[in-house]
Structure 1
Amino acid sequence: MQNIERQAQKKGIELKDYGRCQFCGSNTRGGVFECFDVFNDLAMTFMEGNHLFTFIYADAHCLQHSEVHGGWNNNLHLTRQYLILEQAIAWEYAKTSQLSNILDQYKRTHPDILIPALPLQQRGHLTVTDLIGLKQKELESMVFKWAMDVYHSYDRYHTNAKVVGDLYINKYER
């Protein structure tokens, strides 16, 4: 993951360390920094368990915080959500680099297909702070709901994700 302060600085965004998260609206007192702290703390829960949740967990958070990630962040994470949530592909770490290669090839000929960040706090109703204090089964269920919530908030860009996702399927999953 890239340094959020460096990414924000490149884009001329001032990160707030107070109140609710300025991007997803999560219920924090320490702003985006606390939101990322919660994300990182909870991520450890998934490291030894079901890896599927690791990916949809990261995708949901990245899509809610586009401004502190690279330009094609949304294309990668929304496409991976399409592949996992709609196509039921059992995701593994190696598949991300394969998807990234497909996306790199695609964006050379389609540079206008960049999926933009949605308006602030309109990237799903659930956030990472909705996961605090949940036990394993509840946590997994809520991560899935959160991922679906964020995925559906980007519904106007599902066609873009499907095109790249289907290229991935045709090359690596058949």
Structure 2
Amino acid sequence: MQNIERQAQKKGVKLKAYGQCQFCGSNTAGGVIECFDIFNHIASHFVGGNGLSQFIYTDAHCLQHSEVHGRWNNNLHLTRQYLILERNIEWEYSKPPLLSDMMDKYKLSHPDALIPALPVLERGNLTVTDLVGLKQDEFESMLLTWAIDVYHAYNQFHAIAKIVGDLYINKYER
């Protein structure tokens, strides 16, 4: 992952290290910086073992924080959510490079098909802080609920994710 401050600077965004997260609205006192600290802490302590949860966890957070990621971030993460949540693709660590390759090919022929960041605080009702303090079974259920919540927030862009996702399925999953 790129340095979030550097990526935000490229986009002319000033990160706030106070109050609730300026992008997802998570209940923090330390703003987006604390939101990422929580994300990283949970990722390193609770998510790691199950590949599927690692991917939907990352996708949900990245879609809620578009300003600190690359230009095609939303396309990639929403497409992966489509593949996992809608098409029930068993996601593994060997598959992201294949999806990136498919995305790169799609970008060449559709350079204007960028999925933009949704308005701030309209990227789903749940955030990473809703996972804090949960027991493992509650955690897994809430993680899936959060991923679905974020996925549905981007509903108007599902058609783009479906195109790339179906191209991926046709090439790599048949």
State if a TM-score over 0.5 links the two structures: yes
C-alpha separation in 2, matches of 1:94 and 1:80: 13
Q: Which residue of 2 aligns with 1:153?
A: 153
Q: Where do residues 1-174 of structure 1 align in structure 2 (5 Å cutoff)?
A: 1-44=1-44, 45-47=46-48, 49-174=49-174
Q: Deviations over 1:147-172 (max 9, x none)?
A: 00000000000000000000000000
Once superposed, which parts of structure 1, at least 4 consecutive aligned residues long, lie more than 6 Å away?
A: none
User: 1:50: how far off?
Assistant: 1.5
Taking only aligned residues, the RMSD between alpha carbons, in angstroms, comes to 0.5
DSSP 3-state at the match of 1:17: coil
DSSP 3-state at the match of 1:28: coil
C-alpha separation in 2, matches of 1:114 and 1:6: 21
C-alpha separation in 2, matches of 1:88 and 1:11: 34
C-alpha separation in 2, matches of 1:149 and 1:167: 25
* TM-score under structure 1 length normalisation: 0.99
Count of equivalent residues: 173
C-alpha separation in 1, matches of 2:50 and 2:95: 16
DSSP 3-state at the match of 1:89: coil
C-alpha separation in 1, matches of 2:9 and 2:107: 25
C-alpha separation in 2, matches of 1:130 and 1:20: 13
C-alpha separation in 2, matches of 1:109 and 1:87: 24
Question: Tell me, which stretches of 5 or more residues in structure 2 are unaligned?
Answer: none
* TM-score under structure 2 length normalisation: 0.99
C-alpha separation in 1, matches of 2:150 and 2:90: 20
User: 1:93: how far off?
Assistant: 1.1
DSSP 3-state at the match of 1:164: helix
Question: Tell me, which stretches of 5 or more residues in structure 1 are unaligned?
Answer: none
